Chains A and B, each alone.
Chain A
Amino acid sequence: NAGVTQTPKFRILKIGQSMTLQCTQDMNHNYMYWYRQDPGMGLKLIYYSVGAGITDKGEVPNGYNVSRSTTEDFPLRLELAAPSQTSVYFCASIPGPYSPLHFGNGTRLTVT
């Protein structure tokens, strides 16, 4: 039981490049979330999903896209990377409402 797994752990992108941050969980959780955390700041919700085929925007969705074709996977896509997207990205899941979040180890992204 690996929990929530994120890849890659680190990535450097040039401005305008695209990439996909992978997130997979093996706990059969319906709810999955993508957060970003800038230095000295709280976590901000980018996108979330309450089940396969259902996604919705969070607080800071601009510049990102997601899909949820399976219960296990919730990839986050950056189409045209910008320096403002330099951050640490966390994927998380919960089995249901009011449950504590299970976070992945994070992806540290730098856009230069």
Chain B
Amino acid sequence: DIQMTQSPSSLSASVGDRVTITCRASQGITRSLAWYQQKPGKVPKLLIYAASILESGVPSRFSGSGSGTDFTLTISSLQPEDVATYYCQKYNNAPRTFGQGTKVEIK
């Protein structure tokens, strides 16, 4: 099975900072990758699919890139409401594995 590894596991940044989260697949998954945001005590929310397509209603400060095995989620200017855990997920085939998550906090 393909493993999904996110880095870092957690990060602390200041409001307005550019934040980058990486997701690496153990084998190529073309662009079949999604990013989700889960705020504390809330339901996960889709941010990006097909590696770089922004879900409707998601702020434009979120962006995704990558293909094959290496993917990136970028928050261009971190806001207080972005405090959450972020997960990547592959969906090219089964199992549709999630990464272990990256917890983002405000410094």
Do A and B form a real pair?
Answer: no
A residues contacting B by CB (< 8 A) are none
Q: Which residues of B are interface residues toward A (Cβ below 8 A)?
A: none
